[in-house]
Structures are given as C-alpha cells and as structure tokens.
Amino acid sequence: MKKYNVLLLTVFSWIFCSCDSYLDPKPDQSLLVPRTLEDVQYLLDNNVVFNFQGFIPLLAADEFNLTEEAFIGASVTEQGAYTWSEELFPTGASTDWNYPYEAVFYSNVALDALVKYTGEKDIKYYELEGAALFYRSMAYYQLLHTFAPPYQLEGGNEQLLGIVLRDDPDINLPSERATLEESYARVIQDLETALNLLPDYVEYKTRPNKAAAASLLARVQLSVFDYAEAARSAEVALDFYTERMDFNDIDSSTSIPFPLFNAETIYYIQLQSTSVMFSQLFTVDNGLIESYDSADLRFQYYFQTNADGNHRLTGHHTGSSTYFGGLTVGENLLIASESNLRLGDESKAKSFLKELLSLRYEDDSYSEILDLEGEELLARILLERRKELVGRGTRWTDLRRLNQEDKWAKSIQRDVGGEIYQLTPMSPAYVFPIPDQEILRSGIEQNQR
C-alpha cells in the first residue's frame, strides 16, 4: 500500500504541475514507473486521467443553444467553441488537448513497464496490455475529432495532418504530426489488438473489456466510412455485452432515471464540466426536441422543460447532472443498423433498429418506422442517432462525416445578440487550432483555418 501511495502521489503531482503542455519537462520517470502488475493496474485505474473527455465538440455541434446572457457569462473557451473561433485558448493551453495526452503518457508508462516486466506473463499481464492500448486509442480518437481534419470519404488522407503519435513515455523525444491516415490506422490497429487481449467481463465499467474495445472500434470505423468493419465490430460488442435497458421499465416517478453504471453503459466516460453546461440557459435545439414524438420515452427521461418552454438535457448516464460520453448499447445498435443499410442489407438494418426502438418507445408504437425503405430508412436511422446520443459529444464527429455527402450536409448558424456566426459543411473551422503553447514548445505544425 505504501508503494501504491508513493506511485499515485507522484502521478497526481505530475498532473497538477503539467497542465500547460504535454511536452513540458516532467519529473524523473523512474519515480513513477510501476514495477509489478499490481502497480500497472493501479496506474490504469486512475479515473481522473482515463475516464474524462473534452467539452469542445459538445459546444461546437448543433444540439444546444446559448442565450445572449449565457454567452456573455461564458468563458472565452466556451464562447470560442460555440462560435468556432480561432481565438479560444486565451492562456495558450487547453484541457481538450492536454488531458488526452496525459492519458497517452500514462498508457505508455504502463506499456513500457509491461515490456520490462520480468515476472510471468499470465492472463493478467495481457489484459493490462489490452487496457493500456484501449486507453491510448480513446485518447487519440478524442484528439483526432477535435484537432485534426475529418477523415475524407474521397481519399487523400495521406496528405493531411493527423496528430502526434507517441509509443514511448520518453517526453524528450521530438514531436511530429503523423498523417491523418497513419493516425486512424494506429487507433484501429491498437484497438484490434486490445480486443484480442481484454477480458470478456470487468468488475468496473471504468475499465475496458472486449465489448468496450469492439464498441470504440465500431465508432472509429464508422468515422472513416468503413461500414463493413463498423457493422462487424458493433455486432461483436452486442454479442459480448448482453444487458439491455428498456425505458418502458424505468420508474416514471424517479428523479434519477439513469443510475451510475446502469445496464445501458458498456464503458463509462464523463465529459469535462464547464459552467455553461449546467446553466438553464443552455438549452436543446428546438428542432431536435420536436423530433421526439409522444410515444418516445427518451423525451420524458432525457429532458426537463424551462418556464420559457425551452428544454434542458438532464438525463445523463452518469447518475448526476454531469454529461456522459461513454460507450453504450444504443450506439452500437445504431452503428450496426446504419452500416448494414449502407452495405445493402436492409433486413438486418431494420432488425437492429427494431431492437433499439423496442427499448425506447411505448409498446409497438414504432411499427410504422420499420415500413420505411432505402434513403428514407437511412434518414430515420440518422435521426434516431441524433435523438439517442444527444449530449454525448458524438454529434460533432457525425457532422464532420455526414457533411461529405451532399444529401446529409448541413450548415449551422448561431445568432448571438444579433451577430451571426455560420459554419458551412466543409469549413476549415471543423478543425480547432492546436493550443499556442504546444506549437511554441514542440514546433509541430498548426492547423490551417
């Protein structure tokens, strides 16, 4: 226990002393390198490092609106994310950049410790390797959909800049951005390895298992338009994880419809919290609200109505007011449905959609939806995706992906006190600038906007 306390003390000291930049000088790594498998597990159980994701994609997407009053009271970073500004990091630093790279660093410390481990390489050893690869992949994916351009449907991803990929905990190594193709390939490769190494079951949903790896793999594969592999991965996840949450069974009188670590949750992550996210003036887009019909139980359990008739998102799979960003059954059902339809298997697509709707609608009130075909069915699946995953931080990635198809492309407009901000489908503002402190200290190339 004493060794564990020393390890965590050094780890947390590093967190609080290095929030400016991932490439800041670090303490002597020998002070925090775990020596035993137990040490590695303790390191990877650091929920502060591994079970959070950034808030910028949530504020930048089209799910929520800010009143002028709320906008004025928001931080510069919140305002900048909401209006897609180039000037959103007044201190030159960003937690949306630093926190994922902290997770990368800790993952690499764990992987390096496993390489140097001289004991028996038993099942626990390989499960820890899989967990470290999963955590690193999750961090890379978060960075990619905020600080790198969208993966291009028409190709050319070898010519686009991705992110800095780190395989080594040595922070003195030079930094260079990989290509977008290399970046996504690394994430997919590591997740495929993790899927083979991770256990079927884990005691805590803050730890990854096979279903979590397959779920994240499906999410990434969907974002690179690999529908065949996305469908396969989502189906694998649903086979490994057999729990389901039927909204028909929720007690309608409860104040917490979604307790922490509920049956819907495959892997738990929460979003970094900002003041504006908890404001009553941070309301759900009215067009999205109107898409929930009277038989859709999500409306009842997701939202609360303000006195002015606008709606706030209050139903989160965190058991609290904190926003949830983890991996769920519903997301996998939607990935499997969309991907199979795009592959031409309408029957299979409807099967997965039916399973989701049966868990979210009263009785069989959704039956007419299943009569849709072709493009109308795809439009409905995409709508159900918006309705199911509202407030998870996934919509930003969907916009970046779907904007590359003319029929689904969408412009977003904000009106803040009469000043109009617009984001067109293929705008370079779909990529946020890398924080200035990182550019100055590492010399990596800045995003062009």
pLDDT at site 363: 87
Task: Give the distance, in angstroms, between the CA of residue 110 and the centroid of all CA atoms in the same chain.
Answer: 22
Average pLDDT, the chain: 93
| pLDDT tens, residue by residue, 155-213 | 999 999 999 999 999 988 999 999 999 999 999 999 999 999 999 999 999 999 999 99
Q: Does pLDDT of 18 surpass 60?
A: no
Q: Does pLDDT of 63 surpass 50?
A: yes
| pLDDT tens, residue by residue, 129-161 | 999 999 999 999 999 999 999 999 999 999 999
Q: Which is nearest to 33 in space by CA: 7, 12, 53?
A: 7
pLDDT at site 223: 98
For 244, phi then psi, to 5°, come to: -140, 145
Higher pLDDT: 1 or 357? It is 357
Buried b (16+ CB within 10 A) or exposed e, 9-20: eebeebeeebee
Query: What percent of the chain stands above pLDDT 70?
Result: 93
pTM: 0.93
Do strands 177-179 and 161-164 pair parallel, antiparallel, or not at all (unpaired)? antiparallel
Residues 6+ apart with CB under 8 A from 231: 218, 335, 336, 339, 340, 343
Buried b (16+ CB within 10 A) or exposed e, 63-79: bbbbbeebbeebeebbb
Q: Does pLDDT of 16 surpass 60?
A: no
E strands, 154-195, are: 161-164, 177-179
Question: What is d(CA 325, CA 229) in angstroms, rounded to the nearest whole number?
Answer: 22
Secondary structure element (H or E) that encloses residue 449, with its range: none
Instruction: Give residue 4's pLDDT band: very low, low, confident or very high (50, 70, 90).
Output: very low
Residues 6+ apart with CB under 8 A from 12: 48
Task: Give the distance, in angstroms, between the CA of residue 82 and the centroid of all CA atoms in the same chain.
Answer: 18
Q: Does pLDDT of 107 surpass 50?
A: yes
Mean pLDDT of 17-21: 42
Residues 6+ apart with CB under 8 A from 185: none
Mean pLDDT of 399-428: 97
Mean pLDDT of 354-373: 96
Residues 6+ apart with CB under 8 A from 221: 188, 227, 229, 230, 233
Mean pLDDT of 390-403: 98
| pLDDT tens, residue by residue, 340-360 | 999 999 999 999 999 999 999
| pLDDT tens, residue by residue, 75-94 | 999 999 999 999 999 999 99
For 324, phi then psi, to 5°, come to: -105, 140
Residues 6+ apart with CB under 8 A from 275: 73, 74, 75, 78
Mean pLDDT of 231-238: 98
Question: What is d(CA 85, CA 395) in angstroms, rounded to the nearest whole number?
Answer: 19
CB 138 within 8 A of CB 216: yes
Query: What percent of the chain stands above pLDDT 90?
Result: 92
Residues 6+ apart with CB under 8 A from 26: 14, 18, 171
Instruction: Give residue 296's pLDDT band: very low, low, confident or very high (50, 70, 90).
Output: very high
Q: Which is nearest to 438 in space by CA: 157, 195, 203, 91?
A: 91
Instruction: Give residue 32's pLDDT band: very low, low, confident or very high (50, 70, 90).
Output: low
Instruction: Give residue 31's pLDDT band: very low, low, confident or very high (50, 70, 90).
Output: very low
Instruction: Give residue 218's pLDDT band: very low, low, confident or very high (50, 70, 90).
Output: very high
Mean pLDDT of 426-445: 97
Q: Does pLDDT of 8 surpass 80?
A: no
Q: Does pLDDT of 7 surpass 60?
A: no
CB 175 within 8 A of CB 160: no
CB 161 within 8 A of CB 446: no
pLDDT at site 449: 87
Mean pLDDT of 95-119: 97
Q: Does pLDDT of 3 surpass 80?
A: no
pLDDT at site 100: 98
Higher pLDDT: 441 or 19? It is 441
Q: Does pLDDT of 61 surpass 90?
A: yes
- Three-class SS state of 429: helix
pLDDT at site 364: 87
